[in-house]
């Protein structure tokens, strides 16, 4: 890792912040913390059962939170609909009754396929209340990715909209023998009549607003999430009701949620971030969430941050890079006095993006790390700690993280000292850890060694305990005896004013093993040329040294990305080598 990347630190202390941070003293809180006590705060010990939707919604009834807005839904056309905690409790009860009346019970799979409309959120919470398992699907999937996921997850119920049903589902129904009920929302949000389906609005009206929440156990299956498919075919990760304790604790520490916050998580519930932190965590904290139905648009996003007075914002590096493309000046035309904390997840956050936050938003962006498998944030830059741009921060209270190397006998050992690359491993025992990959038991077992969960990501820890992402184990480049992480090379390229995005791969080479090749897309106003290529090569050599800098740079109009916004390096590599592209079900359209 280039030393210059570590030289700059953004110093922060609790007293500099406008709001007292939930995690003011890192060491003291780690020492004090236990999952058991955090669960007890949510009443788990007293109650003896745990249901995510009960904790998130019904637990607030009879408290001042019940009248607060839980979700402010903003439709594509800008229309707003506020749903209070009280109203959400009733609507989700109705949906739970809809399922119960259809004979859908505990453990049965309810899939959700819709844009970010109120019914999606109500159905998710209602299905959880009923003890059914919720599986959100990304609405831009085509029929084939939908078919494989619905079949793998043994869908019993599908909630979707009329047009999504007609375009994507009707044609694959014959291949889904377990699917017993399709519940439709009209395209205007109202009723619809399509043969072979149920009209959700009618069923909701007919069902009772009272419902006795299923008394599920901490280890009962609650959610099914498919991974992003960045490294291969997406896996179905199983999560349990007890995970709510981790959603609660991690949102307290890493997102610093306070009761009066207006929170905006930009992720779609089709990805784990959009469920763990777009639905569950903010409700557990009783805050108001903004839900925007529309896709990314720089001007719309700045306007939303301003008008909705968002105080805590959780987004992704790809979105930040798109905002950067538009320049800091655009951001500065908006006044964001309410905004006090910005966090990002999903990919490594380039140091340049952290600094851009300071310049454009007046706040640095706080990177954090987790995976579909971990169910919640594990490593984070929290409000009161110094930020080292390019680092993903430190393990949260309750999380023990290690850098390990594989021994010859197949077991793992701690690399022992700072500054050594190895695989990131976590000590098992946090409540939101996945409990299986659907139909892939062997693969699940291989993720563990003793009491360690092996993440598949390569990292380094520095002497201050900060973790630095090097690359996915599959993406790391071995060149002339060096191990090169693509992230470091990409971050150096992004520092160049012409570069919007960069993706770096290892290209097989008979002499040195692999050589580094970079693909870059340019910011508006720059055109590709031989001269620019030379400039970029020289810039990279200056920043990284000849051993690590790319030997080749190619220009692309856009990099291939997953629909959750991650650069698909395996696709860059397959294309480079003329190999089959493999599973592209999560590839963004046009990439």
We find the least distance from the C-beta atom of residue 44 to ligand ATP, in angstroms, to be 27
Determine which residue in the list 234, 274, 357, 565 makes contact with ligand ATP, applying CB under 6 A: 234
- Give a three-class secondary structure readout of 538-552: HHHHHHHCCCCCCCE
Q: Does residue 460 belong to the site contacting ligand ATP (CB under 6 A)? A: no
Q: Does residue 268 belong to the site contacting ligand ATP (CB under 6 A)? A: no
Nearer to ligand ATP, 392 or 544 (CB): 392
CA nearest to 223, candidates 118, 111, 103, 144: 111
Pair of tokens at residue 544? 């990284």
We find the least distance from the C-beta atom of residue 455 to Mg ion, in angstroms, to be 8
Q: Does residue 559 belong to the site contacting ligand ATP (CB under 6 A)? A: no
Window 398-437: residues binding ligand ATP (CB under 6 A): none
We find the least distance from the C-beta atom of residue 227 to Mg ion, in angstroms, to be 5
Computed from CA positions of residues 436, 403, 273, 566, in that sequence, does the dihedral angle turn out positive or negative?
negative
Window 38-77: residues binding ligand ATP (CB under 6 A): none
Q: Does residue 371 belong to the site contacting ligand ATP (CB under 6 A)? A: yes
DSSP3 helix / strand / coil % (the chain, rounded to 5): 35, 25, 40
Determine which residue in the list 372, 391, 515, 521 makes contact with ligand ATP, applying CB under 6 A: 372
Computed from CA positions of residues 212, 213, 217, 222, in that sequence, does the dihedral angle turn out positive or negative?
positive
Determine which residue in the list 50, 469, 488, 506 makes contact with ligand ATP, applying CB under 6 A: 469
Beta strands in 439-577 (DSSP E): 448-449, 452-461, 467-472, 477-479, 482-484, 499-509, 513-522, 552-555
CA angle 521, 144, 270 (to 5 degrees): 65
Q: Does residue 472 belong to the site contacting ligand ATP (CB under 6 A)? A: yes
Distance CA 468, CA 40 (A): 33
| Spacing of C-alpha 473 from chain mean position | 19
Distance CA 179, CA 165 (A): 13
Distance CA 247, CA 38 (A): 11
Q: Does residue 585 belong to the site contacting ligand ATP (CB under 6 A)? A: no
Contact residues for 147 (Cβ-Cβ < 8 A; gap 6+)? 172, 175, 176
We find the least distance from the C-beta atom of residue 187 to ligand ATP, in angstroms, to be 29
Site string for ligand ATP, 292-331 (x = CB under 6 A): ----------------------------------------
Nearer to ligand ATP, 271 or 302 (CB): 271
We find the least distance from the C-beta atom of residue 112 to ligand ATP, in angstroms, to be 18
Computed from CA positions of residues 422, 423, 424, 425, in that sequence, does the dihedral angle turn out positive or negative?
negative
Half-sphere exposure of 353 (CA within 13 A, CB side): 31
Among ligand ATP, Mg ion, none, what binds residue 472 when CB lies within 5 to 8 Å by partner kind? ligand ATP
Among ligand ATP, Mg ion, none, what binds residue 347 when CB lies within 5 to 8 Å by partner kind? ligand ATP
Q: Does residue 347 belong to the site contacting ligand ATP (CB under 6 A)? A: yes
Determine which residue in the list 229, 242, 375, 398 makes contact with ligand ATP, applying CB under 6 A: 229
Buried b (16+ CB within 10 A) or exposed e, 130-163: bbbbbbbbbbbbeeebbbbbbebbbbbbbbbbbe
We find the least distance from the C-beta atom of residue 365 to ligand ATP, in angstroms, to be 11
Window 222-241: residues binding Mg ion (CB under 5 A): 227
Contact residues for 543 (Cβ-Cβ < 8 A; gap 6+)? 2, 4, 492, 495, 549
Nearer to ligand ATP, 470 or 549 (CB): 470
The residue ranges that bind ligand ATP (CB under 6 A) are: 227-232, 234-235, 345-349, 367-369, 371-372, 392, 455, 457, 469, 472, 564, 566
Contacting residues toward Mg ion, per CB under 5 A? 227
């Amino acid at each position: 890792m280039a030393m210059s990347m570590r030289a700059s630190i953004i110093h922060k202390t609790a007293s500099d912040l406008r709001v007292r941070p939930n995690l003011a003293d890192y060491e003291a809180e780690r020492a004090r913390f236990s999952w058991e006590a955090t669960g007890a705060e949510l009443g788990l010990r007293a109650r003896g059962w745990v249901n995510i939707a009960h904790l998130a919604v019904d637990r607030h009834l009879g408290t001042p939170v019940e009248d607060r807005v839980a979700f402010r839904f903003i439709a594509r056309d800008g229309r707003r609909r506020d749903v209070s905690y009280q109203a959400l409790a009733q609507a989700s009860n109705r949906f739970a009754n809809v399922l119960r009346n259809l004979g859908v019970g505990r453990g049965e799979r309810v899939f959700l396929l819709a844009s970010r409309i109120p019914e999606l959120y109500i159905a998710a919470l209602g299905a959880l209340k009923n003890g059914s398992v919720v599986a959100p699907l990304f609405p831009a999937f085509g029929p084939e990715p939908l078919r494989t996921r619905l079949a793998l997850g043994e869908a019993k119920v599908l909630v979707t909209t009329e047009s999504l049903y007609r375009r994507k589902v009707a044609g694959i129904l014959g291949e889904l023998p377990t699917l017993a009920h399709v519940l439709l929302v009209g395209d205007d949000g109202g009723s619809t009549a399509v043969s072979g389906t149920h009209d959700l609005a009618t069923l909701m009206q007919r069902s009772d607003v009272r419902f006795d929440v299923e008394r599920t156990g901490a280890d009962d299956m609650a959610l099914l999430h498919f991974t992003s498919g960045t490294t291969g075919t997406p896996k179905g990760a199983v999560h349990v009701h007890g995970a709510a304790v981790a959603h609660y604790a991690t949102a307290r520490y890493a997102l610093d949620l306070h009761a009066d916050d207006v929170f905006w998580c930009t992720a779609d519930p089709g990805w784990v971030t959009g469920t763990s932190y777009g639905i569950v965590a903010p409700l557990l904290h009783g805050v108001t969430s903004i839900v925007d139905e529309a896709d990314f648009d720089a001007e719309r996003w700045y306007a939303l941050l301003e008008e909705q007075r968002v105080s805590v914002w959780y987004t992704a590096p790809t979105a930040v890079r798109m905002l950067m493309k538009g320049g800091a000046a655009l951001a500065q035309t908006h006044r964001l006095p309410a905004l006090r904390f910005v966090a990002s997840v999903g990919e490594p956050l380039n140091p340049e993006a952290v600094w851009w936050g300071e310049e454009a938003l007046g706040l640095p962006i706080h990177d954090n790390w987790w995976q579909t498998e971990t169910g919640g944030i594990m490593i984070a830059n929290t409000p009161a700690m110094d930020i080292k741009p390019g680092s993903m921060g430190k393990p949260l209270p309750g999380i023990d993280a290690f850098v390990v190397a594989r021994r010859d006998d197949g077991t793992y050992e701690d690399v022992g000292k700072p500054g050594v690359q190895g695989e990131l491993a976590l000590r098992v025992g946090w409540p939101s850890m996945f409990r299986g990959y659907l139909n892939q038991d062997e693969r699940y077992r291989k993720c563990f060694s003793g009491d360690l969960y092996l993440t598949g990501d390569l990292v380094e820890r520095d002497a201050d305990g900060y973790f630095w992402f090097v690359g996915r184990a599959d993406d790391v480049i071995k060149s002339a005896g060096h191990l090169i992480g693509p992230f470091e090379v990409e971050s150096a390229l992004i520092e160049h004013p012409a570069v919007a995005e960069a993706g770096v791969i290892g290209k097989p080479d008979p002499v040195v093993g692999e050589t580094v090749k970079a693909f870059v897309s340019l910011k508006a106003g720059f055109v590709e040329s031989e001269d620019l290529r030379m400039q970029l090569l020289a810039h990279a050599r200056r920043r990284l040294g000849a051993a690590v800098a790319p030997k080749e740079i190619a220009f692309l109009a856009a990099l291939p990305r997953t629909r959750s916004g991650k650069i698909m390096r395996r696709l860059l590599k397959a294309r480079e080598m003329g190999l089959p592209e493999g599973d592209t079900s999560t590839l963004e359209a046009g990439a």
